Amino acid sequence: MLVIRLSRTGKKNAPSYRIVVAEKARAVKGKKLEVLGFYIPITEPKQFSCNKEKVLHYLKNGAQLSPTARNLLCDHGILPKNQKIKIVYGRKKTVTEDPKKPSVELKDDSKDKSADAKIVEAEIAEKETTPKVEPVKSETEAEENQIEPDINPEENSTEK
């Protein structure tokens, strides 16, 4: 299966991309069938060039588009705008129903802790702050716990 995707070129911290047609199983920087255009996002304005006839030819013959390539082609008028895919990178968004707050909030994992996790964290903090105190033993308990030395070492030894 053929796929139209971006292949990164350029130096470190200076990306540029080629729009290529390649086998889907091949590596991104691997062998390409054809280079259809280029995209340089760091220039102002962003540079984009693509052979529209070849892109439409490959799509008509069954090639698939990667999501990023599809959005790029939609933004530059090669494909219709309604084919654009919404890609979300980063934190998940949650929707709230409170009319006073905005309709979309970013979900923060540190605020979304269960009650059990909070209790465990409180116990750990308490253990770290309280000093450990051992109970004082009486003299008789201390004497009982001491090991008495062997009186006759000859009786306990085994001969070979």
Beta bridge pairs of residue 16: 9
Kindly give the confidence (pLDDT) of every residue in the chain, 160 residues in length, as a single tens digit, with 9 standing for 90 and above: 899 999 999 999 999 999 999 988 888 778 889 999 999 999 999 999 999 999 999 999 999 999 999 999 999 888 888 888 887 777 766 666 655 655 555 555 555 556 666 676 777 666 666 565 666 656 655 556 565 555 665 655 555 4
Boundaries of every domain in the chain: 2-83
Phi, psi of 49 (to 5 degrees): -145, 135
What is the per-residue pLDDT across 137-150, written as a single tens digit (0 to 9) for each?
A: 566 555 565 655 55
Question: What is the per-residue pLDDT for 82?
Answer: 86
CA distances from 104 to 28, 80, 92, 111, 114 (A): 35, 28, 10, 16, 22
Adjacent-strand bridge partners of 37: 19, 50
Instruction: Kindly report the pTM of this predicted structure.
Output: 0.53
CATH class of 2-83: alpha beta
Convert the pLDDT of each residue in 104-143 to its tens digit.
Answer: 555 555 555 566 666 767 776 666 665 656 666 566 555 5
20, 32 in Cβ contact below 8 A?
Answer: yes
What pLDDT, on the 0 to 100 scale, is given for residue 26?
Answer: 81
